[in-house]
Structure 1
Amino acid sequence: MTAALIYIHGFISSPQSHKAQQLARYVAEHHPEISYFVPSLANTPGEAAQQLDELVQHCLQHHAGSVGLIGSSLGGFLATVLAERYSLPAVLINPAVEPHNFAGHFLGAHHNPYTGVDFSLDQADIDHLRNMVSAPAKGRYWVLVQEGDEVLDYRLAKEFYRGCDISVETGGDHSFQQFERHLPAVVDFYAWGSGL
Structure 2
Amino acid sequence: MIRPEAIKVVAWDFDGVLNRNIEDGIFAWSRNFEADLGLSLESFSGFLFQGRFQQAMVGEACLVEMVGEWAGSNGAAGRENEILDYWFTRDALHDPAVLLMVETLRQRGVSNVMATNNEVHRTAFIESTMGFADHMDRIFAAGRMRVAKPDPGYFRHIEQSLGVAGEEVLLVDDMEENVKAARQLGWQAFHFTEGAHEALTAALKL
Q: Scaled by the length of structure 1, what TM-score is found?
A: 0.31
The structure with more strand, counted as a fraction of residues: 1
Larger relative contact order, structure 1 or 2 (CA cutoff 8 Å, min sep 6)? 2
**Structure having the higher Rg:** 2
